[in-house]
Structure 1
Amino acid sequence: MATDPVMTRLSEVYAELPRGERAIVRVLLDDYPFAALGSLRALADRAQVSPPTASRLFHRLGWDGFADFQAAVRDHAREHDRSRLREFVTTAPREEPAITHRAAEELRAGLDSTLAAASEPLLARIGGLLAEAGRVWGVGGSLSELAADYLVRQLAGLRPGVARVPDTAAARARVLVDLGPSDLIVAYDFRRYAHSTAAFVRAARSRGARLVLVTDAWESPLADQAEVLVRLPREAAGPIAPLTHEVAVTELILVAAAGLMADSAERLETLDALTAELHHDLPDSP
């Protein structure tokens, strides 16, 4: 099915736009196409910018105004619906595996882009922060928390003082009260950006904690808080939001960190020995 040219155009220019216009694009992409179908004022209010700022965006992108932009969105939506109907009518059940084949190709392309985005200097800088921090805290949203948990589980084998940010407000407050400049937050924040992640990170930054942010090409609202920013593509495997990209870049970060920790190999050997010793007395954890 054809790519939506409106979404493609918004995505392509996002990084080049002024902050206010980027906020408009972020709202549109987060809730596309519905955010585009209300009034200009409603869209501006959601992005917390003025209507003239929103209006400038659409002229900058080549539309004659907001109404022209909305017409383009509606036109493609109608064509999208017609294409889906044709596909449903003409595709026999025996052709179903082709869907997963296309999803695999999209996932592979997204993974290639992810690995290209994780440059050696970027990984080395993050690895250095992970090695030097007094404590490391991982946090993510409703799905990306799985990548944060993966980071924490693996990194805890390489060094002490690693934990996942707890889920409840009271527990997070207990973490915040002791945070300082020696603490490092590693946050995963993707569309739709998690308010709870933003609230914790901003509070942590106000107490001097440093931030490594892994986000998408449209950037989390926390981008201006990050000491190191990792932008990943978000090509989907069909309708499924990809976690593979986040885990892949996390593994590269862990490799970079391990190379800077002189005693990580010895620590892992000790952990293996302790695990084997305890295995005789305790059941394995799930």
Structure 2
Amino acid sequence: MDAIVSRLGEVYAELPRGERAIVRVLLDDYPFAALGSLRALADRAGVSPPTASRLFDRLGYDGFAAFQSAVRAEAREHDRSRLHEFVTRTPDTHRAAEDLRSGLDGTLDAVTEPQLTAVAELLAEARGVWAVGGPLSELAAEYLVRQLASLRPGARRVPESASERARALLDLGASDVVVAYDFRRYSTRTATFVEAARARNARLVLVTDAWESPLAAHADVLIRLPREAAGPIAPLTHEIAVTELVLVATAARLSPAARLAELEQLTQVLR
């Protein structure tokens, strides 16, 4: 992992809102967003140049020019490393497995007991639970609903079409919970539905990445996964792992043995 990208991820949660906006722009288009002017970077983030400048001071650089020099130096080193790897590499599935295991450990460690308790209470007590995700994270939303529906009634996916979503919103209220999975690049369709649900006083559990979905400010419970969950392949693995934790914690509050037994009986009848 690039050291500068890693550092940006580490400090993100502690930054003021304006500086977070700068970090999101940098990470969404790294390293290219760092190679223009300070004003261009600030304009992309919708903040003032002094706000952007404060971020680089906070990171320990002697101004934006020093930050750019560090980005260029790291990019050159990264290119050299990639060239060496291309020339010398051999298949290393063991290393890939170790990387996946390490990333999963970091993700699971990032979910605290108080967070799990809060989510489990919401999912156990809600009148209805609706799950929604983006282009890939919708698979985690589907997994949550399939498993949760075995534990309690009223667990549903947010439908795809606008008309069906509108009908779902008609019946949403303060007794309902929306579970949203939202990762870069953040889904505008997810945001639109969640904001409409929140306007009707539905509760929100948000699972997002290190840089945080714009929906973070609306969340009753926010689960923020580390940067390792934001790669091109790993996200679903991490999201499913966190969903498993949520399901186990929820099941402990529902005592679903009788429901599960009836489900198994019905399954056998219908085969």
TM class by shorter-chain length? Answer: over 0.9
Greater Cα offset, 245-254 or 112-121: 112-121
Contact 2:100 2:234 in 1 (8 A): no
Structure 1 runs (4+) deviating above 4 angstroms are 236-239
Q: 1:174 is matched with which residue?
A: 167
Deviates more, 1:188-197 or 1:234-243: 234-243
> What residue number does 1:268 align with?
260
Q: What displacement does 1:184 show? A: 0.3
More off after superposition, 235-244 vs 18-27: 235-244
Normalised to the residue count of structure 2, the TM-score between the two structures is 0.93
Match in the other structure for 2:142: 149
1:227 to 220, 237, 256: 220
CA distance in 1, matches of 2:143, 2:229: 21
| Cα deviation code 1:74-96 (max 9, x no counterpart) | 221122112111221223xxx21
Task: Tell me which moved more, 146-155 or 185-194.
Answer: 185-194
Task: Determine the C-alpha separation between the residues in 2 that align with 1:30 and 1:22.
Answer: 12
Give 1:18's aligned residue: 16
Pairwise CA distance, 1:211: 0.5
> Scaled by the length of structure 1, what TM-score is found?
0.88
Deviation at 1:126, TM superposition (A): 1.0
Is 1:245 aligned with 2:238? yes
Measure the CA separation in 2 of the matches of 1:52 and 1:237: 29
Match of 1:184 among 168, 171, 177: 177
- Say whether the 8 Å CA contact 1:138–1:148 is kept in structure 2: yes
Alignment of 1:70-89 (within 5 A): 70-89=68-87
Q: Give the fraction of aligned pairs with identical amino acids, expressed as a percent.
A: 73
Shift in CA distance, 230/57, structure 1 to aligned 2, threshold 3 Å: same
Q: 174-183 or 31-40, which moves further after superposition?
A: 31-40
SS in 2 for 1:137: strand
Task: Return 5+ residue gaps in structure 1 as ranges.
Answer: 280-286
Gaps of 5+ in 2: none
Higher share of residues assigned helix = 2
1:89-120 alpha-carbon deviations (Å, 9 max, x no partner): 223xxx21x2x322211111111122222233
Matched residue type, 2:20: R
In the TM superposition, what is the alpha-carbon distance from 1:127 to its structure 2 partner? 0.9
